[in-house]
Structure 1
Amino acid sequence: MTVTGGGRFAFYAKRYSRKKASIRLRVLEPMSALRDAGLDVRRYPKLKGLDGYDAVIISKAFGRGAMKATQAAQAAGCGLIFDICDNRFANNRVKGSTHHAMRTNQFLSQADLVTVPTEKMGDLLVSQAPEIAGRVRVVPDMLEDISTLSGLRLSMIERFRLRRLRAFLAAHPGALHVVWFGNNMAGISGVGQLDEAVAQLRQFAVRHPITLTIINNKPAVYRQASPNWGIPSFFMPWSLVSFPAALKLHRAAIIPVSRNDYTAGKSINRPATAIMAGLGVIADSIESYEELRPFIALDDWQDGLSRYAFEWEAEQVRLARAREHLDQHYGRRRVAERWTEVLEEIRTREFRQ
């Protein structure tokens, strides 16, 4: 895809660290894909100002830097897009922060357009900030291509941790090796909310051995929760470099979802990451996961675990079709096309017509 419309755009983020999934999937990778497509896309120019820029995209930033970028865009007459990948209002409610909720509302209300990864996320935001109705645009998360990380050099500690994980899995030959990966948010998602999923694993373990690996950065939460699980488990600290290798040592990912306003608008990101790495997926359904129902196990834990334990070869056809589906709808080309449509809309001020 080559773009001929022109335009100059800047992405603003508090930090541009690849260690954060939202930055990889909604800033760095889209910027790279848009450049490949012929757009002039840069990081926010802190020192040189915004003269000549058509729009600034502020990505999931709510602090003083984002406020200054907003003011600079308005002063320069740039279009302003606020990109948000989580239901910040639900996050603020959990933390009891009315101040942050007001700030979120302030940022959204000043934006010419608000971009979100799913329609449901847009609906949730509009319910809290009705003034943005008509200004919300869906731009999917880009697929997490962990193959691009496989060539990065492992540190000594990362190699040590991978050896320990391999030894743990080897100590349970013939078991179905499943993995959970993600962040913790107290009372909403994370290791502390795995009890129902682990009960499903424990039920399955009566007829077939199973192991569970946890990949995240909260070992204390794992140590507190895991003694009551009753199945062999292992904690693997998450790192950008070791994650691809650790993930691929497993056959299936489990993705239990506590249903609330925070998780309801989540993107397809996590099951897609597992599928693209060659794993099967057993998950609770939310709206964005429904399109994957033909390819993975949704809301059917025992059957899904059986499929991946006993019918692995037969599942390869489904998983291959899932990868094709994901590439078509969330691959680099498609997401670049969608970002281009939104940027062209704001460049030509079509949203004001």
Structure 2
Amino acid sequence: MPCAQAVSIPCESSSTSQRQCARPGVLKRTPRTPMATGKSKRGPRFARLLLAGNSADPLVVLRSATWNYNSVGLFAGNEALVVDPGLSPAELALLHARLVTAEQPPEPRRINHLILTHAHHDHIRGGCSFEGARTWMPRIAAEKGPEARGRILAAGEALGKRIAAEPAGYSWPQVTDPFDTEAQFVLGDSLEVRMHFLPGHSNCTSVVVIPALATLLSADYLVSPGVPFCRHEARMFEGALVGLRELVERYEIERLVPSHGPMHLGRDKIHEAIASDQSVMAAMRQAVRGALDKGLDKQQVMAAALAAADKDRGQTAGRLAAQDTDNARRILREEQDIA
């Protein structure tokens, strides 16, 4: 259903990810904390609050020092929620501290809800830091078998070694509230939170909607528009983009927060980001079909798909080239199965 009220949205956009403004909920200058865990050519990266949250806009977004990862929190009255919290213990502590102290609640605020959008290791690694919270997760993710769990946890352990930081008690999440297609609850007295199962990025991905804030938390959709992050079936991913567009219209979304990278602000900008991913996937699929019709070998088909993606977006994928290759491989496999 449409959101009940309009809200003032902070000014970060996909083209100005480092810019902040003096609107409610955004720190004009975020102090750098001594928790740098990544490095770039410009020196160490630091975790920082992109959104600090206040009574008018109680959304908290913490940018990790690693992978431009966004941990999200929300508070209402004496209750708080975290979504896909990560990645290091110091970052988890910073997120926790902000949520329980924001707006100086008259009584101690408790983080009593945890949402894990899907089962990838970066999204579940911080869940163990919020013991006692009701934990929501798509059922297909929560009920993964021992082999899949072991593989995912091992990937998380590898990340822990890389950043020299592992949350205490890192383990498979204990999910109290698995859901199949949709789920919802009320945070505090009146702030509704909705979850929608939307597989495509993975076979177990979901997204989160806060209708009153006109906000959608998109997990790993639209993390880098123009370079689709598909980790499952390409056709399912293409269908998920259609579903994402429908949710944006249904809830009159004006702010979309992916799990990595900058936020997308304004419905037109959000639709542009969706269209960018759709266009690249369509261009790659068309190129694969054309190359297969010509009887080209696998290497030539892949080259045609990658060239089509570059042409469609007007530039190469740069450091994300491996994702382009993975997308092309998934599309090729589907088209060969059809043939």
Q: Give yes or no for TM over 0.5.
A: no
Structure with greater helix percent: 1
* Greater percentage in strand: 2
TM range, normalised to the smaller chain?
under 0.3
TM-score (norm 2): 0.24
Higher relative contact order (CA 8 A, sep 6+): 1
The structure with the larger Rg is: 1
TM-score scaled by length of structure 1: 0.23
